[in-house]
Structure 1
Amino acid sequence: MREVFLSNHLQRQANRSFAICLASLAFALTLLAVGVAMASVLVIWASMVALAISGFIVTKYGPTHMTYRHGMQGERILRNWLRSSGLDDDHTAYYNLPLNGNGRASDIDCILVGPPGLFIFEVKHHHGLIFHRNGIWARIKIGQGGTFYRGQLGDPSGQLYRNIRRLKGLLGRTDGLWFNGAVVFTNPRTVLDIEGLRWVRAVAVKDLDHVLSKRTVLSVEQTNSINSRLASLVKK
């Protein structure tokens, strides 16, 4: 299997959130050190205010940093699975295709092109019970005391639908090409209870071989055409 790495979106976002936390703490601590050195009550009080503000900033951006780190871990797990799956060089995996829309930068986690078809993967590294019914996603976690509570998840299939639509727009004319979408959960502590998804699937990474058909859907000419168009997107 050939691999093409297109961006480091998650790494940049993780670095940005970490830098914001670090800079806010460094400023507050520097101000405190100056106040102590000068024996200035006013500067010390200002540093206390700065520490309180930096605490708020860390509370906001710290979890964001960890979310991006978990996303990067999930993407590594998917890459390792694909590498060990035995796919030959007729298959090409594109990682982190940049997308921009509604004033926000994002990416498509993985696009796989090969004889079985065109596949778009949205990676999630959440753990817990992942539940879907009638367009509603939920994530249930178990706390330290054994109590159940609802965790953050969002709308993975909605995110995947949007990415597929935007990829279709970027590729242009596709002559009835089917876009196979799958939300791939990579955390081994995930339990899936999924029903009612339309047009896309949701699977654990260990079951991804059920998504990749063994039959040939695309000709060599078709895969070459798709790869050429994806390559042209990278050069823009």
Structure 2
Amino acid sequence: MAKVHNGSQHLQQAISTYKQEKRKGTLQIILSLVVAFLLLFLQPLVGIVVGIVLVIYFSQRSSSRAGISAEEYRIQLHGLNGEKRLTNQLAKLPENYDIYTNVFIEWQGKQSELDSVVVGPTGIYVVEMKSMRGRVYGDEAEKNWYLEKTGRQGGVYGKEFYNPTKQVGTHVYRLANNLRPVAKNLWVQGVVLFDHETALDVTSQKTIVTNDVNQLRAYIEKQPLTVESKDIARIKSYFEQGTA
């Protein structure tokens, strides 16, 4: 098994904050209703007004402190679970591979967050993970790709999203420049890994695009042994400065 090094889990932090604030908000609303109920016996009108005011106040307060909306929470939770699932499957690579997740890098004042970086004797692979359901259409030259979905009642709908091969291409460029002082003549390969529930109708030459993590693992293992042990040690040291 490859060793997984978990970086800054900003999605996990956002989700945890949302859950905590919503729990607090629910408890505060319950206490507000209890106070309002007790006031009803003394001053019915006051009890009703106080109850309404407190419920509105604590509802808005918990929403503002949560940081994200309920819809954003649902999307981020789905994305986080998808990333964890794909990372666990990718970690079935041999033990001489390391996987670094949620890696933040900077190049010329611009930052990138890399979902996963695989480091091993066959190369460096920047993996952008996408957890989607439906069919994806796109070409690497296009600015946006299209996700088509079928609803429960058979209706077809969809949405555009930024071309992930361009996204990972930017990550590859910035990481390659960061690693240049660490190891010379190092090839960094971009990968877009979709969930197995995503059907793909895409064209890409430079970037690997797949929905089969087993196929990706096999591809990585079959590549020539191009990275020397001393370079792997330097690269791992570079990543471990900012990961757990």
Structure 2 gaps of 5+ residues are 41-46
Contact 2:135 2:147 in 1 (8 A): yes
Q: Counterpart of 1:3? A: 4
- Matched residues in 2 for 1:36 and 1:135: separation? 57
The amino acid across from 1:28 in the alignment is: I
Deviation at 1:130, TM superposition (A): 1.3
What count of residue pairs does the alignment treat as equivalent?
Answer: 228
TM-score norm. by structure 1 comes to: 0.79
Q: Counterpart of 1:113? A: 119
Q: Counterpart of 1:202? A: 209
SS class of match (1:73): helix
Deviation at 1:146, TM superposition (A): 0.1
Deviations 1:89-113, CA, capped at 9 Å, x for gaps: 3322112224589xxx984221111
Deviation at 1:148, TM superposition (A): 0.6
Work out whether 1:65 is the aligned partner of 2:73. Answer: yes
Q: Single out whichever of 153-162 and 126-135 deviates more from structure 2.
A: 153-162
Deviation at 1:139, TM superposition (A): 0.9
SS class of match (2:128): strand
Q: Counterpart of 1:129? A: 135
**Of 157, 167, 175, which aligns to 2:165?**
157
- Matched residues in 2 for 1:100 and 1:20: separation? 32
The amino acid across from 1:49 in the alignment is: I
Aligned counterparts, 1:156-235, within 5 A:
156-168=164-176, 170-171=178-179, 173=181, 174-186=183-195, 188-195=196-203, 197=204, 199-204=206-211, 205-209=213-217, 211-212=219-220, 213-234=222-243
Contact 2:116 2:127 in 1 (8 A): yes
Q: Percent identity?
A: 21
Q: Single out whichever of 111-120 and 3-12 deviates more from structure 2.
A: 3-12
Q: Single out whichever of 120-129 and 20-29 deviates more from structure 2.
A: 20-29
Question: Which protein is bigger by CA-based radius of gyration?
Answer: 2
Q: Counterpart of 1:41? A: 48
TM-score norm. by structure 2 comes to: 0.77
Q: Counterpart of 2:43? A: none
Deviation at 1:234, TM superposition (A): 3.8
Contact 1:128 1:141 in 2 (8 A): yes
Contact 2:129 2:192 in 1 (8 A): yes
Q: Single out whichever of 150-159 and 125-134 deviates more from structure 2.
A: 150-159
RMSD after superposition: 3.2
